[in-house]
Amino acid sequence: MNATRTAAAGLTTGWLIAVAAQAGAQPAKPERFGLGRPATEAEIAVLDIDVGPDGAGLPIGQGRAGDGAPVWAQACAVCHGAAGEGGTAGPVVGRGQDRPTVGSYWPYATTLWDYINRAMPRNRPGTLTAHEVYGLVAWILAANEIIGEADVMDAETLPAVLMPARDQFVPDDRRGGPEVR
């Protein structure tokens, strides 16, 4: 143990000496290194998928609960349960406060769209079409009795959905330091 420590300390000292010896001879640092290139608009567009709470960024498309049902059965039920009641992954349906679900604690329907679009299905994220995500969001919202079975979810209607947990969140406006608990 002691021998290893001594060897490591010796290595560090040697490195410092080598750096000090070089420092005087180093050429001026260039302003830019000339590496890479600006990303193209198309490349940025592929990554620029965020949807805000106000719905900014929602793409064209639409879906009802009935459109989402077969996608849920095929791509989601294996982990979240056939009725969204939970399996190896947590439940997404339920309005009680005893367990966090989309119905009990998710503050915005719009960010539910964002989350499913970017992260689900967990084993194949990024594979759903915009229509499928609208259908899945509609299915989850209808199962939580937040919207009706026939309600169409799209870029206009989704931001207008009032989630039961909307007012359970407060902005974190602490400035740090002693205020942080």
Q: Residues in the chain, how many? A: 181
Three-state DSSP at 62 gives strand
CB 139, min distance to ligand HEC, A: 8
Comparing CA positions, the residue from 136, 56, 62, 131 lying closest to residue 93 is 136
DSSP letter (8 states) at residue 131? H
**Residue 96 contacts ligand HEC per CB under 6 A:** no
Three-state DSSP at 153 gives strand
Which of residues 51, 69, 80, 141 is near ligand HEC by CB under 6 A?
80
DSSP letter (8 states) at residue 169? -
Written as one letter, the residue type at 56 is A
What is the pattern of x (binds ligand HEC, CB under 6 A) and - over residues 136-175? x---------------------------------------
**Residue 57 contacts ligand HEC per CB under 6 A:** no
CB 7, min distance to ligand HEC, A: 42
What is the pattern of x (binds ligand HEC, CB under 6 A) and - over residues 113-132? --xx---xxxx----x----
**Residue 89 contacts ligand HEC per CB under 6 A:** yes
- What lies within 8 Å, CB to CB, of 124 at 6+ separation is 75
Rounded CA separation 55/83 (Å): 27
Q: Which is nearer to ligand HEC, 6 or 127 (CB)?
A: 127
DSSP bridge pairs for 154: 62
> Which residues are near ligand HEC by CB under 6 A?
75-76, 78-80, 89-90, 92, 100-102, 112, 115-116, 120-123, 128, 136
